[in-house]
Amino acid sequence: MTKSLKTKLAIRTIFGFIFLILLIGILLMLPAGTLDYWQGWGYLAVLTTVSGLITAYLWRKDPKLLERRVRAGPVAEKESSQKLIQVFASLAFLGLMILPTLDHRFGWSRVPSFIEIAGDAFVVLSYYLIWLVFKENSFSAATIEVAADQRVISTGPYAIVRHPMYASALIMIFGTPLALGSWWGLLMSVAMTLVIVWRLLDEEEFLARNLPGYEEYCRKVRYHLVPLIW
């Protein structure tokens, strides 16, 4: 990667990261109607720290993967089906942030503090597992595509489930409402899970058509998302 491209990547990464953290902060605090929301601040601090560490790791060790990760969202997708799926994923993500904060505002849930702290721990665990996926697979782009030199990865977490990235993300998705002190927020976790299942099934069809050896890999690794279950 040339110096010019690295500079552009750095600018995109930094501004994208800042925008995302500010967006999440607004989504957490504005619907809550108050800044007196320690669960929201704690979650934001944890998320900023772990995502920042992974971003720094990719910048130093695998800038090509970082470039693949910063291209995300409905507009970045090439497949029309994935564009639609990403729209639903974006809506589910908004709900995952907003519903727990509304829960906090109106006092619908009573979540023990140790459960809220455990939710933050789930977020940390999720990002740790995602880091392991990044170490194993430099082709794990945020969009559904096949690079010219891409090959099937069947080692590490990919020897257990076909989609360890999504499996890792599920831990965060279910940990987020708990960290924010909301039982009702788990409804959005379920919605997000359904979108992920939709996405990965469509992704498998795409990879079977476009990535040599992927069908053989699927015959070898039976589980899509959860070991011993599905």
Q: What is the chain's length? A: 230
Higher-pLDDT residue of 148 and 136 is 136
**pLDDT above 80 (res 142):** no
Q: Token digits for 60?
A: 């130093």
Domains of the chain plus CATH, in order, are: 3-220 (1.20.120.1630)
Long-range contacts of 90-96 (CB under 8 A, 24+ apart): 92/188, 92/191, 92/192, 92/195, 93/192, 94/27, 95/188, 95/191, 95/192, 96/173, 96/176, 96/177, 96/185, 96/188, 96/189, 96/192
114-135 average pLDDT score: 96
Residue 3's pLDDT band (cuts 50, 70, 90):
low
Backbone angles phi, psi at 197, to 5 degrees: -60, -45
What integer pLDDT is reported at residue 1 of this predicted model? 59
Residue 171's pLDDT band (cuts 50, 70, 90):
very high
Q: Token digits for 19?
A: 């925008």
165-189 average pLDDT score: 96
* Type of residue numbered 228: L
Higher-pLDDT residue of 96 and 138 is 96
What integer pLDDT is reported at residue 146 of this predicted model? 83
Residue 4's pLDDT band (cuts 50, 70, 90):
low
**pLDDT above 70 (res 6):** no
Residue 203 neighbours by CB under 8 Å, 6+ apart? 82, 144, 163
Contact 93, 192 (CB under 8 A): yes
| Cα dihedral sign, 67-159-130-198 | positive
pLDDT digits (tens, 9 = 90+) for 9-29: 777 888 888 988 999 999 999
Range scoring the smallest mean pLDDT among 3-12, 27-36, 203-212? 3-12
Whole-model pTM? Answer: 0.90
